[in-house]
Amino acid sequence: MSKAGGSDDELDLIDYTEEEEATTQATTATTGPGGSYSSSSFKDFLLKEEIMRAIGDCGFEHPSEVQHNAIPAAMLGTDLICQAKSGLGKTACFVIPVLQQIDPKPGQVDTLVLAHTKELAYQICAEFDRLGKYCTTVKPLVIFGGVPVTYHQNKLREMQPNVIIGTPGRVMDLILRGDLKVDKLQRLVLDECDHLIDEIGMRKQVQEIFKKTPRQKQVMVLSATMSKNTKEIARKICKDPQEIYIDDMNMLKLDGLSMYYVKLTEREKLKKLESLLDALDFNQVIIFCKTIARAEQLNQVLKKLAFPSMVAHGRRKTQDRLTAYKDFKDFKCRILVSSQLLGRGVDFEKVNVVINFDMPKNDLEYLHKAGRAGRFGTKGLAISFVCDAEDEEIMAAVRKRYACEITNLPESVDKDVYKNK
Ligand code: ADP
């Protein structure tokens, strides 16, 4: 349990020495083939019967490597710092320990989970619903901006939730208004934490929220990527954490993914995209653009070309955003054009092809975006359009950092490489 935090703590601090680094309790696990499964069983965790039933309903047979390392410690109340590439089931690493430990008290919020986008918050809440299906006293509520604050005020009053999943702005707002009380909080989770704390605006909000929570609480910090800065902050806000790094950051591999690039000019991009959409045997595809305007425009053009696409970006109305998210998740549409918005954290299990219409802005962004395909050790295909020297530099950085092969896209790609049975 963390005793860090409380009113006088700052998030931006720390001067860890090499020695301290070396003595920190850390697990650097190496993933097996497919990167996902461990040989242990969920039964070994001695979970509540209600949770085991829900796990069975979800069809999870074995815990993944990261779950194997994280869940036993976290369900005993140990703080957690956990970094594993996306798609390996990090959400369950905190959802299961919360469900296992929670002892609901009327009118008290037990757990607060912070996420950087509405979609991710919504998805985490759905995971609480799914894994907590038989834990009838657990009441999760998702809150985020873009809907009238009175809506959440009423929900909080009527529903008396004990698990809150939310984006920092709205959470802070409700705390300041006195509608959301976190003074009895038992657990705080920061999901995709590098995004929550690397961005100055959000980081301030997270800091403010942190100060409102009690000193004594369990803190769990998770991310697919963790910068040195994020790791330092995470260590500052956790107490004797179990640290889990599935592969060293510099050795991260995009297992299961076949990656290619296409060298072309800006003007050739649309034509190439069209031919790829015609030729590839995708279940669902996400096409990433670098700006909202480009995503909007590309979506319009695709529609005109009779491709049934939809678009996701942060400037759409909240309701439209969530409808788009749900429709895509429910397989009502197979082509999604996205800005940066859905580049991280969000899980669309049927996506097996990602196309970077615009090159991600750096190697980390590449990992997050390409990682939307090939979730949980499944196969996938990532194709990036490279059109200038800057794009080429980023591509070189990706190759170097993840020690992976990204080759020129051949005439045709064997669908066995990216199509899951
Ligand atoms: P991450 O947070 O690491 O990106 P998620 O928690 O979103 O990954 O999980 C990715 C996908 O894997 C989800 O569809 C989830 O339901 C599935 N999943 C998680 N754990 C298991 C498991 N033990 N067995 C099978 N599928 C799993």
- Report all structural domains of the chain as residue ranges with CATH numbers, in order of start: 16-247 (3.40.50.300), 253-417 (3.40.50.300)
**Residue 317 scores a pLDDT above 70:** yes
Quote the strand ranges of 224-349, DSSP E.
Answer: 242-246, 257-263, 284-288, 309-312, 335-338
Among protein residues, the one whose CA lies closest to atom 26 of ligand 1: 60
| 3-state percent breakdown (helix, strand, coil) of the chain, nearest 5 | 45, 20, 40
Q: Which of 57, 65, 91 to mutate to test the pocket of ligand 1 (most atoms within 8 A of CB)?
A: 91
Strand partners, 188: 112, 219
The response to whether residue 260 sits with its C-beta less than 6 Å from ligand 1 reads no
pLDDT at 370: 76
- Alpha-carbon gap, residue 224 to 6, rounded angstroms: 27
* Alpha-carbon gap, residue 222 to 193, rounded angstroms: 6
- The number of the ligand 1 atom at minimal distance from the alpha carbon of 60 is 24
- Bridge-based pairing state of the strands 80-83 and 218-223: parallel
At residue 206 the predicted structure's pLDDT band, cuts being 50, 70 and 90, is very high
d(CA 373, CA 154): 38
Question: Does residue 86 line the site of ligand 1, with CB under 6 A?
Answer: yes
pLDDT at 349: 79
Which atom of ligand 1 is closest in space to residue 130's alpha carbon? Answer: 16
Q: Residue 124 and residue 259: Cα distance in Å, rounded?
A: 28
Side chain identity at residue 224, one-letter code: A
Is any atom of ligand 1 closer than 6 Å to the C-beta of 347? yes
pLDDT at 351: 86
Ligand 1 within 6 A of 374 CB? no
The model carries a pTM of 0.71
Name the E strands within 49-114. 80-83, 111-114
Ligand 1 atom with minimal separation from the 62 CA: 23
CA of 88 to the centre of ligand 1 (A): 5
- What SS3 state is found at 272? helix
Q: What is the pLDDT of residue 78?
A: 95
* Atom of ligand 1 lying closest to residue 123 CA: 7
Cα(80) to centroid of ligand 1, in Å?
18
59 pLDDT exceeds 60? yes
Cβ atoms of residues 352 and 420 within 8 Å? yes
pLDDT at 252: 45
The predicted model gives 278-291 an average pLDDT of 92
Q: Are the C-beta atoms of 87 and 123 separated by less than 8 Å?
A: no
pLDDT score of 85: 80
